[in-house]
Chain A
Amino acid sequence: MDAGLLKQLNAERRARRAAILVTDLEGGADRLIREGDEVEGELGEAVARAFRSGRSVAVEADGRKLFLNAHLPSPRLVVIGAVHISQALAPMASLAGYPVEIVDPRTAFATAERFPGVALHAQWPQDVLERQPLDRFTALAAVTHDPKIDDFALKAALDADCFYVGALGSRKTHAKRVERLLALGATSAQIERIHAPIGLEIGAASPSEIAVAVLAQVILAFRSRGREARGEAA
C-alpha cells in the first residue's frame, strides 16, 4: 500500500466518511473509493454492496482478484430530549452498538442522576451541533414535543443527511411541524425522510416500548442505507 493512500484513508475515517480501500491481490495499484464515487463494471456492484453492508470482502471483478476493505464510521444516535423515553432508549441503543448522546437545554430534565453514564448535554441543540456536527452515520430522534428545541435539530439532521431522522408527536402535531420546517427552508423531499409519528409500528404504549420501536426503526434505517428502503413509520 502507498503511504499517501493510507493518509487519505485515515483522513476519511477521522472525518467520519465512508471509504473503501481496494487492494489488488495480484500486485496492481491500490485505489481509494469514497462513498458516492462513480465506479463502473463488476467492481462498481461489489463496491455498492460493501458500502451498504459494511462488510470487507475478497472479490474477483473485471478479471482481477481484489480485496475490498470497507471502512464505515460507527453509527451513533443523537437524542433531542432528556425525557422518559430517552431514559430507556439510551442504554438499549448503546447495547445494540449505537452510542447515544442526549441534548436538552432544560436542566431539570438533563441531569446525571436521571441519565447515569450517558453522554448528556444540558444545552441548546444549536450550541451542541455547532461543536459536534451531525453526519450521514448519525441518527437523530427528536422527542421533546417542544418546537423551540426540536425544530432546529430536525432541520440540521435533514441538511446533514442523517441516515435516520425521527420526530415524536401525533399526525396533527407533525402536520404543524412540517409547516414550520418548510418555513425554515426544508424541501418536501427532506420532509418525506422524517419518521413521524416516530418508531416502527409494534403497538408500543409505554415509554420503554416506544424506545424499542425507535431503536428498531434506527437499525432498519442503518441496515438499509443506500437502498432508500425506509421502515414504515408508525
Chain B
Amino acid sequence: MDKPAQIDEARDPLSIAEHWIEDGRAVAIATVVETWGSAPRPAGSHLVIDEEGNFHGSVSGGCVEGAVVTEAMDVLSTGEPRMLEFGVADETAWRVGLSCGGRIKVYVERLS
C-alpha cells in the first residue's frame, strides 16, 4: 500500500498529457466526476487519450475504458466536451458497463 511521495511521471496521466501536448499531439482528458455505489476508481481519476487512441490512466477497472477512448475520438474531432454515464453491465445486451454494480459519470474534454 506504499505510495511514493513524488509523482511517478512515467505513469501519471496528467504529466503524460502535458508531454503529449508538447509533442504536438491532440489530447483528450477524461475525468471521473461522480460515482455511486462500489465504483472502482474515485472521483478525480483520469484517463488521457491522444488522437491515435493511445491512452494512459484509468476511470474504471478496465470495464469502460474502451468506450471512453471511442468517445474521446469524437470529442477530439468536434472539440465539444461530453458527459458519459456508465451503469451496471448488462451481459445479455452486450452493453458496456461496470460489473461491480456501481455507476460513474465521466467528463471528457479536449485539451486546448
Which of B3, B4, B21, B44 interacts with A6 by CB under 8 Å?
B21
Contact (A14, B83) CB under 8 Å given A1-B111, A7-B18: no
* A160 close to B (CB within 8 Å): no
Find out whether the CB atom of A58 lies under 8 angstroms from the CB atom of B34: yes
Identify which of A3, A14, A25 contacts B111 (C-beta below 8 A).
A3
Q: Write the nearest CB–CB distance from B11 to chain A, whole angstroms.
A: 13
Q: Which residues of chain A from 56 to 93 have any CB-CB distance to chain B below 8 Å in the complex?
A: 56-58, 67, 69-70, 73-74, 76
8 Å CB contact of B18 from A6, A74, A94: A6
Which residue of chain A lies nearest to B27 when distances are taken between CB atoms in the complex? A3
CB-based contact B44/A3 at 8 Å: no
Chain A residues, Cβ within 8 Å of B34: 58
- Judge if A2 is at the interface, Cβ distance under 8 Å: yes
- How many residues in B have their beta carbons less than 8 Å from beta carbons of A? 26
Most chain B beta-carbon contacts within 10 A, residue among A25, A55, A95: A25
Q: Does A105 sit within 8 A of B, measured CB to CB?
A: no
B39 within 8 A of A: no
The residues in B between 33 and 84 inclusive whose CB is less than 8 angstroms from any CB of A are 33-34, 42-44, 81, 83
Measured between C-beta atoms, what is the minimum distance from A103 to chain B in Å? 15
Given that A1-B111, A3-B21, A58-B43 are known contacts, is A74 also in contact with B31, CB under 8 Å in the complex?
Answer: no
The answer to whether the Cβ of A23 comes within 8 Å of any Cβ in the partner chain is: yes
Taking CB as reference atom, which chain A residue is nearest B44?
A56
Within the complex, the shortest CB–CB distance from A94 to chain B, in Å, comes to 5
In the bound assembly, the distance between CA atoms of A94 and B4 in angstroms comes to 10
Q: How far is the CA of A120 from the CA of B59 in the complex (A)?
A: 36
C-alpha spacing A195/B48, complex, angstroms: 43
A25 CA / B82 CA spacing, docked (Å): 9
CB < 8 Å neighbour of A10 from B6, B18, B31, B43: B18
Query: Could you tell me if B42 and A56 are in contact, using CB atoms closer than 8 angstroms?
Result: yes
The minimal Cβ–Cβ distance linking B86 to chain A, given in whole angstroms, is: 15
Choose one: B4, B18, B107; the contact of A23 (CB below 8 Å). Answer: B107
Is A207 among interface residues, defined by CB-CB distance under 8 A?
no
A57 near B107 (CB under 8 angstroms)? no
In the complex, chain B residues 1-44 whose Cβ is within 8 Å of any chain A Cβ = 1-7, 14-15, 17-18, 21, 29, 31, 33-34, 42-44
* The one of A1, A58, A99 that contacts B4, using a Cβ cutoff of 8 Å: A99
Residues of A within 8 A of B3 (CB): 74, 97, 99
Report B9 CB to chain A, min CB distance, Å: 8
Q: How far is the CA of A10 from the CA of B6 in the complex (A)?
A: 12
A74 adjacent to B44 (CB under 8 Å): no
Are A23's CB and B14's CB within 8 A? no
Question: When A and B form their complex, which 3 residue pairs have the shortest distance between CB atoms, in order from nearest?
Answer: A56-B44, A76-B5, A56-B43
Given contacts A3-B111, A55-B44, 12 further A-B contacts (CB under 8 A): A1-B112, A2-B112, A3-B112, A6-B14, A14-B6, A23-B107, A23-B109, A56-B42, A58-B105, A69-B31, A69-B44, A95-B2
